[in-house]
Structure 1
Amino acid sequence: MLRIGYVRLRDARSADDTAILKDFGCHVVRAEEPVEPGSDEQAVLYSILDFIGEGDQMVVTRLDHLGHSTRNVLRVIDRLEARGASLFVVEPELCSDGEGGRALRAALAAVAAVEPVWAGRKRRRAPAAEEIRALQEAGVGPVEIARRLGVSRMTVWRKLRALEA
């Protein structure tokens, strides 16, 4: 059985997670570096899911390393099981094998059922008043400004009103 560790490097604690996974007996530890917005945020995770074989085990220190929502975590577990592999979480100690695995899946499914669909999505950035003013000065109307910036017309009107005040 091959143990593959996975960690997302986001904070000081994440750097310690790499050592924890090595001490836990992981043969390989792969780390997800912080990425620029718009790129594939979990490319390393997906490469592990494509590589992992039957009887292997993916190990993480915490469940939140697998995704921003419970649905994402369930998708990862599904992909592991489809490959004949399992998941082991160090803190708290959980495994996707056997009876405990069924209980883990049931608990995650229950949480996912009540979790808002938008959980984990990033909120869009409100446009700066200067952006709106520049478009208005260029002769673009409020409706077209709203369409170009991906906001409501009311947002454009509020920002313009705030600039006039």
Structure 2
Amino acid sequence: MLRIGYVRLRDETSAGETAMLKAMGCHVVRAEEPIPPGVDEFAVLDSILDFIGPGDQLVVTRLDHLGRGGRNVLEVVERLEQRGAILFVTEPELSTEGNGGRALKAALQAVAALEPPGLVRRRRPAAAEEIRELQQAGIGPVEIARRLGVSRMTVWRKLRAVEA
């Protein structure tokens, strides 16, 4: 089982969260850097959700690190569920495993139902032409993914589609 820590860097207290996740036994800790407006602010989280596998665990210090509202958090929980992975939150201690997981998901569904529409986070669609142009400029797939706010797999798929 792989334990992946995820933290959103906002201020100096975020460094303490990174250290705490490492101390909790996370094999990898990924941090979401503050980004300029207009760029996918959850690019690192999206790449984790594309990579995480069955039995793996995503560890966060707080639920609000996963999205702007209940719908966003519910979307992350459902994506983890589809991948066979588990969410573990340290403050308060919550997990999507077992009966507590069903209760957490039900609570998130209730909160999401009360939220006004429009808070749903959408992934930025990556244009194949834009990816191809960056590749032709000598930029590698990892850097292309970072610049466009998409996962590396998205970059590879788009490049494969263009070549075909």
Would the TM-score normalized by the shorter structure come out above 0.5? yes
Mapping for residues 1-165 of structure 1, pairs under 5 Å: 1-119=1-119
**Maintained 8 Å contact 2:8/2:32:** yes
Q: CA RMSD in A?
A: 1.4
* Count of matched residue positions in the alignment of Structure 1 and Structure 2: 121
TM-score (norm 1): 0.70
Structure-1 separation of matches of 2:28 and 2:56: 12
Give the 3-state SS of the residue equivalent to 1:88 in structure 2. Answer: strand
The runs of 4+ residues in structure 1 deviating greater than 6 Å are: none
Please give the per-residue CA displacement for 1:108-162, whole angstroms capped at 9, x wherever unaligned.
11111112224589xxxxxxxxxxxxxxxxxxxxxxxxxxxxxxxxxxxxxxxxx
Counterparts of 1:118 and 1:10, CA distance in 2: 24
Query: Highest Rg: 1 or 2?
Result: 1
Structure 1 pair 98–61 and aligned structure 2 pair: CA distance change class (3 A): same
TM-aligned CA deviation for residue 14 of structure 1: 1.6
Q: Where does structure 1 lack aligned partners over 5 or more consecutive residues?
A: 122-165
The residue type equivalent to 1:77 in the other structure is: V
Aligned partner of residue 71 in structure 1, secondary structure:
helix
Taking only the aligned residue pairs, the percentage that are identical comes to 72
Contact 2:71 2:120 in 1 (8 A): no
Structure 2: tracts of 5 or more residues without a match: 122-164
3-state DSSP of counterpart to 1:14: helix
In structure 1, C-alpha distance between the alignment counterparts of 2:6 and 2:26, rounded to whole Å: 9
Q: Which has the higher contact order (CA 8 A, sep 6+)?
A: 2
1-side partners of 2:43 and 2:64: how far apart? 16
